[in-house]
Amino acid sequence: MAKQAPHAFVSLGAPKLRSTNIWGRVSVSVLPLETRHQRRFGAVRLRAALDLPMTLGQWVLQQERQHPETADLAPLITATATAGKQIASLVARAGVSNLTGLQGSVNVQGEEQKKLDVLTNEVLKNALRSTGKLGVLASEEENEPVSLMEEAYTGDFIAAFDPLDGSSNLDAAIATGTIFGVMRSGEHCLTGPEDADISQRQMQCLVQTLQPGANLVAAGYILYSSSVIFMLSIGHGVQGFSLDPAIGEFVLTHPDVRVPERGKIYSFNEANSDNWDPVLQEYIRSMKKKGYSSRYIGSLVGDVHRTLIYGGVFGYPGDKKNPNGKLRLLYECAPMAYLMEQAGGIATTGKQRILDIVPRDVHQREPFICGSPRDVEDLLKIYQGSMAMRG
């Protein structure tokens, strides 16, 4: 008897064509109309049969069903993903499209802006603005928070972001990333048809940017490296989506990310170690004794991503020269701390939980240490010990 040709199901959601075989012979049998559930289950089964990972869009819809309170975040998540794809393409083509190098301007922190710092800031601003959901946005590249109340449909949210973190590494084609955090805004930001005293309310809305990380309702980063990865949390764990260049879609590749309890890597810029406090110096010595290896990219998104996946500790601590370290609380430390805690890790200044800090300024810097819970707890124990000794 001839070898059975492989079969594939073709579901048209109506009477089904039973099967076809690669040699083009078709046999048709009419089956009863499928229920909606059967059709959806059929689609799930087909996706499973074809081993198709879930796309970000499908995941957002699923979250809306499972966590209705996150539904109004969907436009912001998809807009950020779209901006991430645009930025990934700009970063990948920076060398061939004359987008490396400096813009010739300086941001409010006195840093020379890269051409792509400015361009990616516009890309993300426009993408988020187009959702009509934002009352205010704050960015590393904007001197002050920007009110969008006059053009927002609702203004339910406030976003803070670093459009291209680690841009000092860009010209050497080292990993960079976009970091973002989203908070709910108060009634001040909600726009209405006739806003008589909008300027007064704009001020109150701008002030709302200075919320502690504990108020975040979503946060994440997009890593531009050997692959483009969108790591995201909306308060129900951490999911990672890789950009599939074949379909131009983010697909779920890292479901329910949990940082390992302990790692084997410490990640600090040891060039600053002479200026560190003795507790941190002792801690790093103890890690070396325990055989931990050192890895440091000098790009926050790259270093935190590796820490989330492999475990260990990453830190940019304060030191004698920079008592508050280098990283900005609102759009670097807080979003990364939110992700790390959602993945079961710890994020601290060494003395305080990052998510509890109430910002005084949009560009405020804070010492930042995060990673595997057991590894970070070891450091906190030494700090507590030394504080107890000092009484």
Q: Which residues bind ligand FBP (CB under 6 A)?
A: 140, 162, 165-168, 269, 298-300, 316, 326
Least distance between ligand FBP and beta carbon 163 (Å): 9
Least distance between ligand FBP and beta carbon 304 (Å): 8
Q: At a CB cut-off of 8 Å and minimum separation 6, what does 120 contact? A: 87, 90, 163, 164, 178
Least distance between ligand FBP and beta carbon 268 (Å): 9
Nearer to ligand FBP, 156 or 162 (CB): 162
Least distance between ligand FBP and beta carbon 351 (Å): 20
Nearer to ligand FBP, 155 or 350 (CB): 350
Nearer to ligand FBP, 16 or 328 (CB): 328
3-class DSSP state for residue 31?
coil
Least distance between ligand FBP and beta carbon 294 (Å): 13
Which pairs with CB-CB distance under 8 Å and at least 24 residues apart come from 200-205?
201/149, 202/147, 202/149, 205/135, 205/136, 205/147, 205/149, 205/155, 205/158
Nearer to ligand FBP, 265 or 300 (CB): 300
- Whether the CB-CB separation of 153 and 141 falls below 8 Å is answered with no
Nearer to ligand FBP, 208 or 299 (CB): 299
Say how far apart CA 291 and CA 265 lie, in whole Å. Answer: 9
Say how far apart CA 380 and CA 391 lie, in whole Å. Answer: 16
Nearer to ligand FBP, 211 or 299 (CB): 299
Least distance between ligand FBP and beta carbon 337 (Å): 14
Say how far apart CA 221 and CA 180 lie, in whole Å. Answer: 6
CA dihedral 248, 254, 259, 263 (to 10 degrees): -90
Q: At a CB cut-off of 8 Å and minimum separation 6, what does 314 contact? A: 267, 268, 303, 304, 306, 307, 369, 370, 371
Least distance between ligand FBP and beta carbon 168 (Å): 5
Least distance between ligand FBP and beta carbon 69 (Å): 31
Which helix or strand (DSSP H or E) is residue 103 part of? Answer: strand 102-106
- Whether the CB-CB separation of 301 and 176 falls below 8 Å is answered with yes
β-strands 346-348, 293-294: how paired?
unpaired
Nearer to ligand FBP, 141 or 341 (CB): 141
Nearer to ligand FBP, 140 or 375 (CB): 140
Question: What is the token pair recorded at 248?
Answer: 């131009």
